[in-house]
Structure 1
Amino acid sequence: MVKLDKIYTRGGDTGETSLGDGTRVAKSSLRVTAYGEVDEANAVLGLARLHATPASDTLLARIQNDLFDLGADLCVPIEEAPKYPPLRITQAQVDWLEAQMDRLNADLAPLNSFILPGGTPAAAFLHQARTVVRRAERATVHLLASPHEAVNRLVLVYLNRLSDLLFVLSRVENGQGAGDVLWAPAANRDG
C-alpha cells in the first residue's frame, strides 16, 4: 500500500532519485527516463479523457491504471530473489489491449491515406498520447539494450500495443473515422 503523507523529501535535490527497490540513481538514468515518459503519456491520456465519449473514457481509465502498473514495473529492476514480489505487466494486460483494438477496429473503414493528428479534441489528445507512448517505447528499447539493466520485456510489448490502440481510438473519437484528417501528399509543393 502506498502512503504519501509528505510530498517533498529533499532526496532529489542533488539530481538523484530512489527506484522502487531503494536503489539511488541519477534522474537522467535510462530507467528514470523510461518511466518518466510513461508518466507523461498518462498525463496526456487524462487530457483526452476530458473530451472522450463515455465508452472511450472507460477504456482510458483502465489504461491509465495499467500505465501506473507499467511505471511501477520499470521502477523496480528484475532481481533473482526479490524481498517483495514486484508489480509486473502481464500477458493478460497485453491481450486486453489487443482485444479492445480488434473490437474497435472492426467497425472502422480501412484507411487509404495516413491520418494527420486532429479532428475532435479527444482524437487530437489521443494522437498526442500515442506519440508520447512511442517515445516511452523508444526509451524502453534503450533501457533494454543496456547490459546492466534487467527489464520485463512485456513492458515494451504493452507500449507497442498501446500506441496502436490509441491510434484506433482516435479514429473512433473522430466519428468512427468520418472526421479523420487525411494527409494529402505533396499538396503544397507547388506553392
Structure 2
Amino acid sequence: MKLYTRTGDEGKTSVIGGRLDKDHVRVEAYGTIDEVNSFVGLAVTLLDEKLFGDILGELEKIQHELFDCGGDLAIVSRKYPFKAKDEMITFLEERIDEYIIEAPELEKFILPGGSKAAATVHLCRTVTRRAERLVVQLQKIDEINPIVLKYLNRLSDYFFAIARVINYRYGVRDVEYERSALVFRGEKPKEKE
C-alpha cells in the first residue's frame, strides 16, 4: 500500500459518501478533532503511569471516541450509521464529577499551565473548543450526528477537570487569574429572601 494517493492534489478529499474541498467546514471540523486527538497523544506521553493509570486509560478510550466523532462528521451520505453514542457523554460526566471532588476548591478562573502535562491537557481543551465551534458552523449548513457536538462540549470540561487533577497529583498549584471575580463553587451562595 502506498501512503500517498495523489487524489488530493487538486484540493479535494474523500469523505464517506463523496468528495469535498479540503477547506470545507466539514473537513475543518473533523480535521480539528484529529488535531485534538494528536494533543491527547502528546498528553499521554507526559503522564506517569503509576500516578495517572486511571486518566491514561480514559485518554485512550477518548482517543477512540474522537476517531468515532471524526468519522461521523466525515459522513455525507445518510446510508452509513453513526458511531458516537450518548453513553460516551455519560461517561465523561461521571468522570468530571469525580475529578471535581478530587481537585482543590476553585473560586476563580485559572491560567492554563502548571505542569507540562496539565498545560498540554489545556491545549486539548482549547482545540476541542475550536472543534466545537466548527461543528456548530457545520450543523447550520448540513445534518450531523448531534451527539458529536454534545460530546465535544463535555470533553472540553473533562480536559479542564483532569488538568486540575494532574497539577494536584503532581503537587503543582494552579495559578489563579489575578483579576478574576469569584465564579466557581467557592462563591458564597445568595441568601433566600
Q: TM-score, normalised by structure 1?
A: 0.87
Match of residue 180, structure 1, among 162, 174, 178: 174
Match of residue 44, structure 1, among 39, 44, 56: 39
- Provide structure 1 residue ranges, at least 5 long, that are not aligned to the other structure: 187-191
Question: Is the contact between residue 15 and residue 75 of structure 2 (CA under 8 Å) also seen in structure 1?
Answer: yes
RMSD: 1.5
Query: 2:11 matched to 1:15?
Result: yes
- Indicate the residue corresponding to 2:2 in structure 1: 6
CA distance in 2, matches of 1:131, 1:125: 10
Q: TM-score, normalised by structure 2?
A: 0.86
Question: Is the contact between residue 114 and residue 172 of structure 2 (CA under 8 Å) also seen in structure 1?
Answer: no
- Indicate the residue corresponding to 2:183 in structure 1: none
Structure 2 letter corresponding to 1:92: E
The CA deviation at 1:178 is: 5.5
CA distance in 1, matches of 2:105, 2:134: 31
Match of residue 157, structure 1, among 150, 154, 157: 150
The CA deviation at 1:78 is: 5.4
- Indicate the residue corresponding to 2:76 in structure 1: 77
SS at match of 1:86: coil
- Provide structure 2 residue ranges, at least 5 long, that are not aligned to the other structure: 181-193
Q: Percent identity over the alignment?
A: 42
Q: Deviations over 1:8-27 (max 9, x none)?
A: 11010000001022x01100
SS at match of 2:13: strand
After the TM superposition, list the runs of 4 or more consecutive aligned residues in structure 1 that deviate by more than 2 angstroms.
85-88
Query: 2:89 matched to 1:94?
Result: yes
- Indicate the residue corresponding to 1:56 in structure 2: 55
SS at match of 1:24: strand
CA distance in 1, matches of 2:167, 2:137: 34
Structure 2 letter corresponding to 1:90: K
